[in-house]
Structure 1
Amino acid sequence: MTTIWELDFYSRPLVDENGKKIWEVLVCESPLDVKTQPDALFRYAEYCASTEVNSAHLQQVLKTAIAQAPKPPTRIRFFRQAMNNMITKACEELGIPAVLSLRTYRLTQWLEQRMQEEYPQHPGFQPGTNPSVSFAETAPQVLPDALRGEKWAFVTLEAAALEEMTDWAIAFGEGFPLRLAGLEPAALIPGLLIFTTRATPMAAWMSGLELGMVSFDPELKQLLLTTGVNNRWILASLNSSPLQTEAKNFTTAKQIAQGVHFLAIQASPDTEAFAGFWLLQDPKLA
């Protein structure tokens, strides 16, 4: 069974007795479906001195965490591009693939909790603004011809309906507990539904990527899929005003739903099974 960890290795608003920045390694297991109880999953935290900021030390911390975890990770997600080389090297030495990802939902929530409750209790706490993480946007890429949908539609589901996602026939996909986003059962979750006769190949291709979010770029007039943290793919060009209005309404609905939305792939509107179904969250709206 797949076990994915979320990882952060970065400085905190803390200093030691010599005024040097204190760093921290955080790891937590990703909840991979809507019914998982996040609080029951493994997590581990360890402070590090600024002199220990290297891949060798990170590797040792990860070994300690793995020794304490009920299951070792099969993959590790992280969101800080600045730490890409160090994290990737440490994980490679352990034989664990590491990928940049926007799907660090539980880690993001845990970081926010520690910013409010944990770090202010530390004697070396230095209050100040917490710099947000930004990702440089890349030019959108064209999807391979074999992976383009023939039809698509914006749809909406209640959060309560998505709680049954684990019971649906889904070939490829991933969810997360909606309570991580603080959503009530009656909340409306917007989504993009793609219909294509190549549904299974398209869903299989997408499952090999770190799906991040679906978004509308009003300047480019394009519906985009972000993978990793900033790789963008053109799902559709919206050349008419009615389609652009639909896309803007989709964006508004995402904002109301704390950035939560979904991407689904089906062979046709008549089938009940999904070739692919992913719950996603736009970090800029969370």
Structure 2
Amino acid sequence: MGSIWEIDFYSRPILDANQKKVWEVLICESPLNVETRTDSLFRYAQYCSSTQVNSGWLRTALQEAIAKAGEAPIKIRFFRRQMNNMITKACQDAGIPAQPSRRTLFLNQWLKQRMEEVYPQETGYQGGTNPSVRLERPLPQRLPDALEGKQWVFVTLQAADFAEMTEWEIGFGEAFPLELAQVSPETRIPGVLIFSPRALPIAGWMSGLELAFLKFDTSQGERLVLETGATESWILANIKNPQTLAEAKGFEEAKQQANGVHFIGVQSDPQAESFAGFWLLQEVNLP
């Protein structure tokens, strides 16, 4: 499997000599498993004048990044929906599929670091927030009947247990090094296991969704929601049983204590020793 990249192309809190916002492209490699060393991941950054902001400039920057990396990624993830058309066209013109995704964990951390340490050092820096346009999100969708799990349970694992994740038998999945989320080996990581005789088709379907995170949602009833892509979400289960409701609240509390880290696994039955699918996830606040 080739590499996956993450991209952000947006204005920064810096004004040029003409008092116009300076733009910047950030490109980095996605960490794909728990053993990835973040200091070895590819990164590329370049400022852009507001008069040059277009898909052609971005395509050229992508081509320069590919030349620097030595190979092109198999796809590029981006979280900023208002840049959808420009990023998608630039990536397509460079011959790379673009995927709206909130699974941009390394990019988010890098962007935060630059906001705190790099931009304030630039001439023309403007303190305060750099607002992003907030777009409406669609309501959660109901899962297709064929993809509903026969049974599911809340579980927890210790962060240290994920050190051996590369040795687990997993059909579909993705992870990241827990150092990225700054959790200790003793931290309890909450998760949900889904059991179904159709575990492999369910895991295959989920693998194409750009999984973002799971959450216990109380905005319209009480339910477990799977967030995917840039804005999509799916109702995994409506929760009515008092005991399950307590477990769902415990899941959210444990997730917060683990800096948003959690997981979702898909197995054929509770006795299975392999996973049709397993994803390590993190809920983070995007810019």
Normalising to structure 2: TM-score of the pair? Answer: 0.96
The residue identity in structure 1 corresponding to 2:112 is: E
* Superposition misfits of 4+ residues, deviation over 2 angstroms: 129-137
After TM superposition, give the deviation of residue 130 of structure 1 in Å. Answer: 4.0
Deviations 1:54-111 (CA, angstroms, capped at 9, x unpaired): 1111001101111100331110000000100100011111121111111100001101
Q: Distance in 1 between matches of 2:119 and 2:82?
A: 22
2:191 alignment counterpart: 191
Structure 1 pair 7–130 and aligned structure 2 pair: CA distance change class (3 A) = same
Q: Distance in 2 between matches of 1:258 and 1:184?
A: 10
Pair 1:234 & 2:243 matched: no
Deviations 1:250-277 (CA, angstroms, capped at 9, x unpaired): 1111111111100000001111000000
Q: Is the 8 A contact 1:215 1:225 kept in 2?
A: yes
Q: Distance in 2 between matches of 1:136 and 1:91?
A: 25
User: Could you tell me the percent identity over the aligned residues?
Assistant: 58
1:260 alignment counterpart: 261
Q: Distance in 2 between matches of 1:96 and 1:129?
A: 32
After TM superposition, give the deviation of residue 133 of structure 1 in Å. Answer: 7.3
RMSD after superposition: 1.5
The residue identity in structure 1 corresponding to 2:175 is: G
The residue identity in structure 2 corresponding to 1:218 is: T
Deviations 1:158-215 (CA, angstroms, capped at 9, x unpaired): 1110121111000000000111111111111100000100000000111111011111
After TM superposition, give the deviation of residue 129 of structure 1 in Å. Answer: 2.2
SS in structure 2 opposite 1:28?
A: strand
The residue identity in structure 2 corresponding to 1:278 is: W
Deviations 1:112-149 (CA, angstroms, capped at 9, x unpaired): 11111111111111111243675633211111111110
Q: Distance in 1 between matches of 2:187 and 2:286?
A: 15
SS in structure 1 opposite 2:248?
A: helix
Q: Is the 8 A contact 2:5 2:27 kept in 1?
A: yes
1:180 alignment counterpart: 180
Q: Is the 8 A contact 2:82 2:133 kept in 1?
A: no
Q: Distance in 2 between matches of 1:230 and 1:209?
A: 11
1:57 alignment counterpart: 57
1:22 alignment counterpart: 22
Instruction: Write the mapping of 1:3-82 to structure 2, written as runs, cut at 5 A.
Output: 3-82=3-82
Q: Distance in 1 between matches of 2:132 and 2:74?
A: 28
Normalising to structure 1: TM-score of the pair? Answer: 0.97
Extract unaligned runs of 5+ from structure 1: none
The residue identity in structure 1 corresponding to 2:105 is: Y
The residue identity in structure 2 corresponding to 1:180 is: L
The residue identity in structure 2 corresponding to 1:38 is: T
2:246 alignment counterpart: 245
SS in structure 1 opposite 2:197?
A: coil
SS in structure 1 opposite 2:71?
A: coil
SS in structure 2 opposite 1:163?
A: helix
Q: Distance in 1 between matches of 2:89 and 2:56?
A: 9
Aligned length in residues: 286
Q: Is the 8 A contact 2:108 2:286 kept in 1?
A: no
Extract unaligned runs of 5+ from structure 2: none
SS in structure 1 opposite 2:281?
A: strand
1:218 alignment counterpart: 218
Q: Is the 8 A contact 1:255 1:285 kept in 2?
A: no
The residue identity in structure 1 corresponding to 2:149 is: G
SS in structure 2 opposite 1:164?
A: helix
After TM superposition, give the deviation of residue 243 of structure 1 in Å. Answer: 1.7
SS in structure 1 opposite 2:118?
A: helix
Instruction: Write the mapping of 1:261-280 to structure 2, written as runs, cut at 5 A.
Output: 261-280=262-281
2:284 alignment counterpart: 283
Q: Distance in 2 between matches of 1:163 and 1:131?
A: 38
Q: Distance in 1 between matches of 2:55 and 2:187?
A: 42
